[in-house]
Amino acid sequence: MTADDLTPAEHALYLAALSNGGHLAAPPAAGPGADSGADSAALAGLLARGLFAPGAAGYAAVDPRAAGDRLAAGLRGEATRLLVRAENLPDALAPLTAAYDAAHQGPESHHVEGRDAIRHRISQLLAECQEELLTAQPGPHWAVTLEPALSQDLPLLMTGRRMRTIYQPAARRRPAVVEYAGAVTRHGSRIRLLDEPFDRTIIVDRSTAVVSARSDHGAAAFITDRATVAALVAVFERDWSRAAAVDWSATPHRAATRITGLLARGLTQGAIATRLGLSERTVAAHIARLRDRHGAQTLFQLGWRMRGEGDG
């Protein structure tokens, strides 16, 4: 009960007492047309709020400031008690929370079959990534997987997530990998090369790990067990410490040089894309720039004018 919800009857009774020198002689007497029950209720309400105090000759009106201070102190005390209850509520519910989690906890690892299904589940994990992505990717690498990876990884880097990747040295001989590495390292990703065998692994936020479940990589295990994930992180950190840093900044020139050499040999656009593991769109963009540079109208003209420029 607070002072800011006085009823009209309470308000009128308090003002009546003030007009009588601040005193109310006795319980209100019912005048003509008055409701003695309503007056009694109004008096009870004012007493409860501390706006009236009983005295020897009836009731005395109390300074509203003093009554307000007492009411405010009571409200602050109640607010403090509610805040303490709110703070303690998670601890009080902890046993129930633990029981609920135990009842709804999924398996600590599950298998996903099929490359498309695996890529879809990994995409979901990357969308949920909050801090860090660790990947160990022994070859081979193809544009069919790297181009979608680029569209996923760049947004992660641009929004502050960290990425570290380990490749084997053969990755540097694949233009698709070099182009991908050049793009992501320009945005903060770190990629190293390790000249020894290691397993394909993806670790998201050090809480979920993805490893191959078959030798053909057609099935993957998604692991959430903390101890297992921690062990896989330790393996990654060990391999990372032994891997060599690489400058990936010369990516575009390297790919263009390879395309130039294959054009000079007479290969078609599609054949070059297959040979280098690039998409035809990427090869077409390089060829368009080469045509402009050499003033060629057809691939035959371009290949003829570039003879002698191949890299063997």
Give φ, ψ of 145 to 5 degrees: -100, -30
Task: Kindly report, residue by residue over 72-120, the tens digit of the pLDDT.
Answer: 888 888 899 989 888 888 888 888 877 766 665 556 778 889 988 998 8
The predicted structure's pLDDT at residue 66? 83
Task: Kindly report, residue by residue over 199-247, the tens digit of the pLDDT.
Answer: 999 999 999 999 998 888 889 999 999 899 999 999 999 999 999 988 8
Sign, CA dihedral 268-274-276-277, equals positive
The predicted structure's pLDDT at residue 143? 43
pLDDT over 70 percentage in the chain? 82
What's the whole-number mean pLDDT along residues 14-37? 67
* pTM of the complete model beyond 0.75: no
What's the whole-number mean pLDDT along residues 121-129? 89
The predicted structure's pLDDT at residue 103? 64
Q: Which two tokens stand for residue 302?
A: 């371009």
Residue 34: count other Cβ atoms within 10 Å of its Cβ: 11
Task: Kindly report, residue by residue over 249-301, the tens digit of the pLDDT.
Answer: 755 555 666 777 787 777 888 888 777 766 677 778 778 877 777 777 777 77
Sign, CA dihedral 86-87-88-91, equals positive
Task: Kindly report, residue by residue over 156-212, the tens digit of the pLDDT.
Answer: 898 899 999 999 988 887 777 888 888 899 889 999 999 999 999 999 999 999 999
The predicted structure's pLDDT at residue 64? 84
